[in-house]
Amino acid sequence: MKTPSVLTKLQKEYQSHAKARREIIGRANEALSLSKRSIFALHRGSQKEAGTLLQQAKELFQTSEKLFKKHPDLSQEGAYHAALEEYAEALLFQQFLVQGTIGEIDKRAMNADTYFAGLSDTTGEIVRYALRQVTLGNVEALAPARETVEMIIEYFLGLDLTGYLRTKFDQAKKNLSRLEEMSYDISIRS
């Protein structure tokens, strides 16, 4: 019996979707890696390198988004969302270091879930930054770091975060605790 044309059509659709999914996952993994590398560059004080890495990540997201036109369901792919969270974290950390504030970032990462997850993780990067600065003798960097993380925690307290975001929030609270311990240790030694 000859294969019905509907099956041939569905096979082509399935293969096209599977190929697009693999491409999106590959690009998302690369964008995630670039975002992580940009965070490490920021910790080293390499603003220019971080900017270049974030621009490369943005270009990967743009390329992926073209595939969403044909396969809209792929915009919900887990790897893509994980990469967006890491990208949001990197952009927010960069913003904190450069402008001393937290605000709007690339619109693709402005979805509340993505932004809040990235913001929660940013508190960890702020703690690492503050610890390094204090270790290098720049104790003054601790106060703005603590104020920023306190502001983030206070904001999250006003939300009824559940599930994944609640876990992220709990981690952010631990980060605030680490900054408070650092402040305490410094005050005792002064």
Ordered by where they begin, the domains of the chain are: 1-91 (1.20.58.2140), 111-190 (1.20.58.200)
Helices (H), the chain: 5-43, 47-68, 78-99, 112-135, 142-157, 163-189
Give yes or no for a contact between 5 and 48, defined as CB atoms under 8 angstroms apart.
no
- pTM value surpassing 0.85: yes
Neighbours of 167 (CB within 10 A): 13
| Rg (alpha carbons) of the chain, rounded to whole number | 21
Neighbours of 157 (CB within 10 A): 11
Write out the chain's pLDDT in tens, 190 residues.
Answer: 788 889 888 899 999 899 999 999 999 999 999 999 999 999 999 999 999 999 999 999 999 999 899 999 999 999 999 999 999 999 999 999 999 999 999 999 999 999 999 999 999 999 999 999 999 999 999 999 999 999 999 999 999 999 999 999 999 999 999 999 999 999 898 7
